[in-house]
Structure 1
Amino acid sequence: MVARWLSRILGAVVLLAVLLVGGTALRVWQVARADERDKVDAIIVLGSTQVNGVPKPILQARLEHAKMLYEQGVAAEIMTVGGKQPGDAYTEAQAGTKYLAEQGVPRSALVPVGEGNDTLMSLVAAGKHLHDQGRSSAVLVSDPWHSLRSRTMARDAGISADVSPTHGGPVVQQRSTEIRYIVRETAALLYYRLTRTSADDIGSA
């Protein structure tokens, strides 16, 4: 009798775990397809790798998408976020601002916030900047699979956030790459919800 009940309990736990992971993966996939372009206070570009102030392809794709949103009038300001690794001359935020200025975006419309070495800390810093200016709404620009986790973190940081992910660049070119990123983002989001700390070594940003 005891063994039977233990077996049922174990089965229920496994089923709940499967439903939780599967439901989270489905939401990652759904939000990756969102594209919200209502007028907001700022467009926030999540950082990624740069070398000597030159964005690598993932970050470049995000910056190009943000530039398009700016030109469409989604916001009058583009906020680039992200710190730097030891030895870097530029923060990810500075590299993003430099690139956008070179592409013709007015310097007055660019706000680099070079604090934070992961998604959570970057969004906390971005939220503080917005709140200090008496503002709160933003559209987040990142990779599709990173959208749900970044939106969740942004809203927890007090930002009224929607998402408009990129649909170009290396992370959306192959089906196998997409599946790998969905799996990683599912794990990273569950980790964040459990611990309220970032997991960018698991996730894709």
Structure 2
Amino acid sequence: MTRIMAAREARVRRKRAVIQVMAGFIGILLIYTLYVGIAIWNYAHRTANIPSDAAIVLGAAVWEERPSPVFQGRIDHALWLYDRQYVDKLIFTGGRGSEDELAESEVARQYAIEHGVPESDILVETASTITEQNLHFANKVGDSAGLSSYLIVSDPLHMKRAMMMAEDMGLEANPSPAARSAYQSLSSKVPFLIREVFYYIGYQLASPFR
């Protein structure tokens, strides 16, 4: 009987230990998730408009061959940088969606030309579908054109992750978040922030396997 009781108590202790370990792990994960969210939020409006060779504009959706409001906000900010001679060239990124006739970057180029940018000052890549690819292919395009320094343009809450990726790729880059982002209200910012926290942590977890 004593042995049975001892075995039962041992099982209870093991279960309790497992629960404590799991609770500790979940607690650490929640704290780190909160830390990442705060870091992304605080980084959002960090701007370093240092004169550079080009602005890399991260892709976003297009609507019937026109930039979506999100993409237009990014493009307009790049045009502002170009007009004020912070950059000499514009690199637009983004491939073609399954239902789109033009790639995101091609729509952006068309928009920039309509707003007075010479075609010779516009570079595009049409292969990317995610942020990491945006930067990877933009870097290749820039290298081919003899460019070496960049301002990264995207929505403010996207900048922390984008700059981490740019740094991992060895890009000489600085953040230049879109001043007129389509994400203005708290109801639009919170879902974007949650998504960015998820992607940011996912990118970090996958880094050792690259």
Normalising by the residue count of structure 1, what TM-score does the alignment of the two structures yield? 0.87
Contact 1:41 1:77 in 2 (8 A): yes
RMSD: 1.9
Q: CA deviation at 1:4?
A: 5.2
CA distance in 2, matches of 1:135, 1:76: 10
Larger Rg, first or second structure (1 or 2)? 2
Return the letter of the residue paired with 1:132: S
TM-aligned CA deviation for residue 15 of structure 1: 2.6
Once residues 178 and 14 of structure 1 are traced to their aligned partners in structure 2, the CA distance between those partners, rounded to angstroms, is 25
1:110 aligns with 2:122: yes
Which of the residues 71, 77, 90 maps onto 1:65? 77
SS of match in other structure, 2:183 = helix
State the AA in 1 paired with 2:168: D
Native 8 Å contact 2:124 2:141 kept in 1: no
Say which of 171, 175, 183 aligns to 2:186: 175
What is the aligned partner in structure 2 of residue 203 from structure 1?
Answer: none
Q: 1:13 aligns with which of 19, 25, 47?
A: 25
Find 1:143's aligned residue among 145, 148, 155: 155
Q: Distance in 2 between matches of 1:15 and 1:83?
A: 39
How many Å separate the matches in 2 of 1:27 and 1:155? 17
1:33 to partner: Cα distance = 1.4
Equivalent position of 1:92 in the other structure: 104
* Post-superposition offset of 1:2: 4.2
| Letter aligned with residue 160 of structure 2 | L
1:190 is the counterpart of 2:186: no
State the 1:17 CA deviation.
Answer: 0.8
Q: Is the 8 A contact 2:75 2:112 kept in 1?
A: yes
Q: Structure 1 residue 41: deviation in Å?
A: 1.8
2:123–2:141: 8 Å Cα contact kept in structure 1?
no
Aligned partner of 1:76 in structure 2 is 88
* Superposition TM-score, scaled by structure 2 size: 0.85
How far residue 134 of structure 1 moved from its aligned partner, in angstroms, is 4.1
Which stretches in structure 2 are left out of the alignment for 5+ residues? 1-12
CA contact (8 A) 1:45 1:62 kept: yes
| Distance (whole Å) between structure 1 residues aligned to residue 181 and residue 44 of structure 2 | 14
SS of the aligned residue for 2:47 comes to coil
CA-to-aligned-CA distance 1:5-57 (integer Å, 9 cap, x gap) = 44543343123212211111111111111111011121011111113431111
Q: Distance in 1 between matches of 2:169 and 2:144?
A: 13
2:34 is aligned, of 13, 18, 22, to 22
Count of matched residue pairs: 196
Indicate the larger mover: 145-154 or 182-191.
145-154
Give the match's secondary structure for 2:174.
strand
Q: SS of the counterpart of 1:153?
A: helix
Q: Classify the secondary structure of the residue corresponding to 1:41.
A: strand
* SS of 1:33 mapped into structure 2: coil
For 1:54 and 1:44, the matched residues in 2 are separated by 19
Where in structure 1 are there 5+ consecutive unaligned residues?
Answer: 197-205
Deviation at 1:3, TM superposition (A): 5.1
CA drift of 1:101 comes to 0.8
Pick the aligned partner of 2:57 from 40, 45, 55: 45
Once the 2 structures are TM-superposed, how far is the Cα of residue 119 of structure 1 from its aligned partner? Answer: 1.4
Deviation of 1:175 (Å): 0.9
